[in-house]
Amino acid sequence: MKDEAINMVFVGRVNEPRKGLRYALGAYSLLKWEYPNLRLIVVGGGVPDRESYRIMGERSLDDVVFVGPVLDDELPGFYQNADIFLAPNTGKESFGLSSSKRCPHPHR
């Protein structure tokens, strides 16, 4: 999924508010004005909650890519293709950060 787009990647269960999808969508909508080639890729199971759908509708975020759940061995590919990795967890755990740190990221 790498082309001229700037990939912003969120990994987490999208139906759990503590994972912070709403915050990821908010950040994306602000940055999208400045960087029109920005793309938000959402990796994880579940269905976005009502508030997330409201944010996407109000801010015309119809280009968000929802990948759905992936196998653990597929995650490194998403991390490696990410220019920006979002981890807006509002809970006390952030297991995604430790997973993303294990993946080498090429310098661009």
DSSP string, 46-85: S---HHHHHHHHHTT-TT-EEEE---GGGHHHHHHT-SEE
pLDDT tier at 93 (50, 70, 90 boundaries)? Answer: low
Q: How far apart are CA 107 and CA 104, in angstroms?
A: 9
Could you tell me what percent of the chain has a pLDDT over 90? 76
pLDDT for 90 equals 86
What does the pLDDT average to over 73-86?
94
Residue 25 counted as domain residue: yes
pLDDT tier at 2 (50, 70, 90 boundaries)? Answer: low
Residue 56 counted as domain residue: yes
Q: How far apart are CA 51 and CA 32, in angstroms?
A: 19
pLDDT tier at 107 (50, 70, 90 boundaries)? Answer: very low
Residue 40 counted as domain residue: yes
Task: Please give the tally of structural domains in the chain.
Answer: 1
Residue 92 counted as domain residue: no
Query: Tokens representing 7?
Result: 């990939």
Give me the domain span that covers residue 46: 1-73
pLDDT for 108 equals 46
**CATH label of the domain that carries residue 10:** 3.40.50.2000
